[in-house]
Amino acid sequence: ALIAATTALPSALAAQTPATLKLRLLETSDLHVNVVPYDYFRDAADDTVGLAKTATLIKAAQAEAKNSLLFDNGDFLQGSSLGDYIAYKKGLKSGETHPIIAAMNTLPYACGTLGNHEFNYGLEFLEHGLAKAEFPLVCANVERVGGAPLVDPWRLFEQSFEDEAGRKHVLKIGVIGFVPPQIMQWDKANLDGKIVAIDIIDAAGKHLPELMKSEPDLVVALCHSGIAGGERKGMEENAALHLAKLEGIDVILTGHQHLVFPGAKAFDGIAGVDNVKGSLHGKPACQPGFWGSHLGILDLDLEKRGERWRIAGFRVEPKPIFERMADRKIVPKAAAEPGVLASVRTDHEATLLY
Ligand code: MN
Ligand code: MG
């Protein structure tokens, strides 16, 4: 009877006061095989790039938060001399691990999406790369000719989080991904007859209803697409603002433009865009620069009234790995994380020789 009385008390309180739960979403995007803080052309250290540095911000951001989820927004598999060394010299056979995948596997990515550059070296290279990823990838607007998925259009994660009163709640987090459909022109030689890419908003219309049937508490769009104003005509390369209008989508992680949101001047004055708070049509959104320059941090205050969770408030911060002073001097804001560096050491050294 004593046990029953003590366990009954918190639930009786819960019925009166809404549960509040802080969930921190973290975003990397457009890494382009930048892992080591190194400029291969100048053959010198470079404090402005590298997942090894972003990883230090990731670990600090996770340590500060009770609940967090890390996402990557695509364009990881192409770029930098390290990427060129793998694509043009060493190759990527079945069973081999691409250095960007090795580096990402050292971090607790919950999920990623595909960027347009994932298709640059053909489907076999991409499939060999993805096969070794220890995190799932989603993309809703690309499928194989004939209708088979290349990767899942969306995933539902059921995860236990702790609220501000220390109580556990299992939340259902839906994650859906998108890539610019222009891949069909940009990588025509690789994709013709193999892959079909459709409009991002049309793909959301096709797949979001299925995702909503599983009654997610929160839906995060991993949108490897940027932020642009104007009327929708269809097949937009930068469709994030249109995506934010859709009911069901709660948070939009953006990328592809290699810009910082909120903050970049390019986003000033676009209707529906809050370039200070970091929102698209009122929904939290971020874009974390490129090559690991920033970590996107989206702090959500979730509130449960009855059976429904909702976003009661949010703060968005694209946190940089360096600061550029007025005299253009670079001041580093993060050290390189040793585990990430170690994961690519052999390929990094081979790239220096190459
Ligand atoms: Mn990119
Ligand atoms: Mg891109």
Show contacts of 266-273: CB within 8 Å, 24+ apart. Answer: 267/227, 270/227, 270/228, 270/229, 270/241, 271/229, 272/229, 272/241, 272/244, 273/227, 273/229, 273/241
CA distance 263 to 318: 9
Which ligand sits nearest to residue 293's alpha carbon? 1
**Statement: residue 1 has pLDDT above 60:** no
> 235 alpha carbon to ligand 1 midpoint, in Å?
18
> 216 alpha carbon to ligand 2 midpoint, in Å?
28
Which ligand sits nearest to residue 237's alpha carbon? 2
103-144 pLDDT per residue, tens: 999 999 999 999 999 999 999 999 999 999 999 999 999 999
Identify which of 40, 97, 107 has the alpha carbon closest to the alpha carbon of residue 348: 40
Q: How many CA atoms within 13 Å lie on the side-chain side of 187?
A: 20
> 226 alpha carbon to ligand 2 midpoint, in Å?
9
Which ligand sits nearest to residue 258's alpha carbon? 1
User: What is the reported pLDDT for 15?
Assistant: 54
User: What is the reported pLDDT for 18?
Assistant: 86
> 112 alpha carbon to ligand 2 midpoint, in Å?
14
> 311 alpha carbon to ligand 1 midpoint, in Å?
29
User: What is the reported pLDDT for 2?
Assistant: 44
> 30 alpha carbon to ligand 2 midpoint, in Å?
7
Neighbouring residues of 62: CB distance < 8 A, sequence distance ≥ 6: 24, 26, 68, 70, 108
> 229 alpha carbon to ligand 1 midpoint, in Å?
20
> 108 alpha carbon to ligand 2 midpoint, in Å?
23
Which ligand sits nearest to residue 290's alpha carbon? 1
Predicted confidence band of residue 5 (pLDDT cuts 50, 70, 90): very low
Predicted confidence band of residue 9 (pLDDT cuts 50, 70, 90): low
User: What is the reported pLDDT for 16?
Assistant: 61
> 170 alpha carbon to ligand 1 midpoint, in Å?
34
> 143 alpha carbon to ligand 1 midpoint, in Å?
21
Averaged pLDDT of the chain: 96
User: What is the reported pLDDT for 143?
Assistant: 98
Cα angle 192-79-223, degrees, rounded to a multiple of 5: 65
Neighbouring residues of 246: CB distance < 8 A, sequence distance ≥ 6: 201, 204, 205, 208
CA distance 76 to 150: 17
Which ligand sits nearest to residue 225's alpha carbon? 2
The Cβ of residue 323 has, within 10 Å, a number of other Cβ atoms equal to 11
CA distance 228 to 180: 13
Predicted confidence band of residue 17 (pLDDT cuts 50, 70, 90): confident
User: What is the reported pLDDT for 12?
Assistant: 52
Which ligand sits nearest to residue 79's alpha carbon? 1
Which ligand sits nearest to residue 76's alpha carbon? 1
> 249 alpha carbon to ligand 2 midpoint, in Å?
21
The Cβ of residue 49 has, within 10 Å, a number of other Cβ atoms equal to 24
Which ligand sits nearest to residue 78's alpha carbon? 1
User: What is the reported pLDDT for 205?
Assistant: 98
> 200 alpha carbon to ligand 1 midpoint, in Å?
17
Percentage of the chain beyond pLDDT 90 is 94
> 274 alpha carbon to ligand 2 midpoint, in Å?
23
**Statement: residue 177 has pLDDT above 50:** yes
Identify which of 28, 32, 36 has the alpha carbon closest to the alpha carbon of residue 61: 28
- Identify any residues that bridge with 44 across adjacent strands, giving them in sequence order: 39
> 73 alpha carbon to ligand 1 midpoint, in Å?
9
Check if the beta carbon of residue 65 is closer than 8 Å to that of residue 22.
yes
Predicted confidence band of residue 192 (pLDDT cuts 50, 70, 90): very high
Task: Tell me the mean pLDDT in the region 168-188.
Answer: 98
Check if the beta carbon of residue 279 is closer than 8 Å to that of residue 253.
no
198-253 pLDDT per residue, tens: 999 999 999 999 999 999 999 999 999 999 999 999 999 999 999 999 999 999 99
User: What is the reported pLDDT for 236?
Assistant: 98
**Statement: residue 70 has pLDDT above 80:** yes
**DSSP-derived secondary structure for 37-106:** SEETTTTEE-TT--HHHHHHHHHHHHHH-SSEEEEE-S--SS-HHHHHIIIIII---TT---HHHHHHHT
Widest pairwise Cα distance in the chain: 73
CA distance 146 to 142: 12
CA distance 179 to 226: 10
Polymer length in residues for the chain: 354
User: What is the reported pLDDT for 267?
Assistant: 98
258-285 pLDDT per residue, tens: 999 999 999 999 999 999 999 999 999 9
Helix and strand counts by DSSP (H, E) for the chain? 11, 20
